[in-house]
């Protein structure tokens, strides 16, 4: 009876609704030094909210309940951001700043937050955060994985689009992709689709040269994964089977999995914005500012005045 109940739970977790999102925020942000010397890159603001809050909001709007943040030593500012600040809240209430009070309270109330530290003994790579959370996942469970420096401007949240796509494909592992310029393929994981298919993944390569691939389908930081992918990463780590630049790459595990079970590439309806380096970060700032109803129109006029446009 107990065994049957456990089987039923595992079946529910693998076939049921996705409730967990894992967000990788353990990087050092070296491209932004010295700004990131004492704060995580993901805490840099896009106008008046840190980058990581946009990711959490996207996940929550998509139906996620549990947000697992994979951090590293020295990131207490990130953890504190998603916690209550009693002194600040008392001061806001005392000064009658109801709107600001509601906003800071909303941040820590909108999800159940779990923090996991990424240990130094683990290899570098975007697959490593998943090794850190393996004990928080039920065998067979599907979950969302998000890179901490990718944002998406979209009417329907990117994560929701991806989860719906996975559901339509019989709960399959699904990767968010968009086409990039040939000159940009060396920055991303690039996916090759099976001949005659619009979305079934055949192969992929991490950061190839422009002449190494025919496809320009780049993954960005949104995935629907399952614990089989985590187990493959675990085996790669155990065997010392690291990939390009001696790192533990998620894409290597996905391709190994794709040899046995379907993996789909979902083209997302929205604008992918990355904050991985100062130039792209500033472009993202501009894009988000122009979308804001409160500051967008005036900011647009300012940009026009700078370029001498009418």
Backbone angles phi, psi at 128, to 5 degrees: -60, -40
Residue 42 forms beta bridges with which residues? none
What is residue 16's predicted lDDT score, i.e. its pLDDT? 77
> Containing H/E element for 115?
strand 112-117
pLDDT, residue 284, reads 96
- The residue extents of the domains of the chain are 18-276, 277-310
Select from 6, 12, 17, 4 the least CA-distant residue to 164: 17
Strands 142-147 and 173-179: unpaired
Q: What is the pLDDT of residue 13?
A: 52
Q: Which CATH class is domain 18-276?
A: alpha beta
Query: Per the structure block, which two tokens stand in for 109?
Result: 């109330």
Place of tokens 């005036």: 298
What pLDDT, on a 0 to 100 scale, did the predictor assign at position 306? Answer: 87
- The beta-strand segments (E) located in 164-283 are 173-179, 189-193, 201-206, 217-226, 263-267, 271-274
| pTM reported for the whole predicted model | 0.90
Nearest to 161 by CA among 102, 223, 210: 223
Q: Tens place of pLDDT for every residue, the chain, 310 residues?
A: 544 444 455 554 555 789 999 999 988 889 999 999 888 999 999 999 999 999 999 999 999 999 999 998 878 899 999 999 999 999 999 999 999 999 999 999 999 999 999 888 888 888 999 999 999 999 999 999 999 999 999 999 999 999 999 999 999 999 999 988 888 888 888 898 998 899 999 888 888 888 777 788 888 899 999 999 999 999 999 988 888 888 899 999 999 999 999 999 999 999 999 998 999 999 999 999 999 999 999 999 999 998 877 6
- Pairwise CA distance, residues 56 & 296, whole Å: 23
Query: Is the CB of residue 224 less than 8 Å from the CB of residue 166?
Result: yes
Q: Which of 82, 66, 51 is nearest to 13 (CA)?
A: 66
pLDDT at 7: 46
Cα-trace Rg, the chain: 20
Q: What's the token pair of residue 103?
A: 């906003």
- Structure-token match 């609704």, residue found: 17
pLDDT at 234: 94
């Amino acid at each position: 009876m107990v065994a049957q109940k456990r089987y039923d739970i595992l079946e529910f977790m693998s076939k049921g609704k996705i409730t967990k999102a894992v967000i990788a925020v353990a990087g050092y942000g070296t491209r932004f030094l010295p700004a990131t010397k004492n704060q995580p890159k993901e805490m840099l603001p896009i106008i008046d909210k840190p980058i990581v809050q946009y990711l959490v909001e996207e996940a929550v709007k998509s139906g996620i309940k549990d947000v697992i943040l994979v951090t590293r030593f020295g990131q207490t500012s990130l953890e504190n951001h998603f916690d209550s600040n009693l002194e600040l809240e008392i001061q806001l209430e005392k000064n009658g700043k109801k709107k600001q009070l509601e906003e800071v309270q909303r941040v820590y109330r909108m999800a159940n937050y779990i923090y996991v530290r990424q240990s130094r003994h683990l290899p570098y790579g975007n697959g490593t955060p998943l090794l850190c959370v393996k004990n928080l996942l039920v065998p067979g469970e599907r979950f969302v994985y998000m890179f901490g420096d990718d944002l998406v401007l979209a009417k329907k949240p990117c994560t929701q689009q991806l989860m719906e796509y996975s559901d339509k494909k019989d709960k399959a592992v699904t990767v968010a992709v968009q086409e990039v310029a040939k000159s940009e393929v060396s920055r991303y994981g690039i996916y090759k689709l099976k001949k005659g298919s619009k979305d079934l993944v055949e192969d992929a390569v991490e950061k190839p040269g422009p002449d190494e691939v025919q496809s320009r389908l780049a993954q960005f930081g949104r995935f629907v994964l399952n614990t089989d992918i985590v187990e493959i990463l675990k085996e790669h780590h155990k065997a010392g089977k690291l990939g390009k630049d001696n790192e533990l790459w998620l894409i290597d595990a996905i391709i190994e999995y794709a040899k046995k079970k379907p993996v789909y590439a979902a083209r997302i309806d929205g604008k992918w914005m990355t904050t991985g380096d100062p130039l792209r970060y500033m472009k993202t700032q501009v894009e988000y500012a122009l979308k804001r109803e409160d500051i967008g129109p005036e900011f647009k006029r300012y940009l026009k005045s700078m370029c001498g446009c009418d």
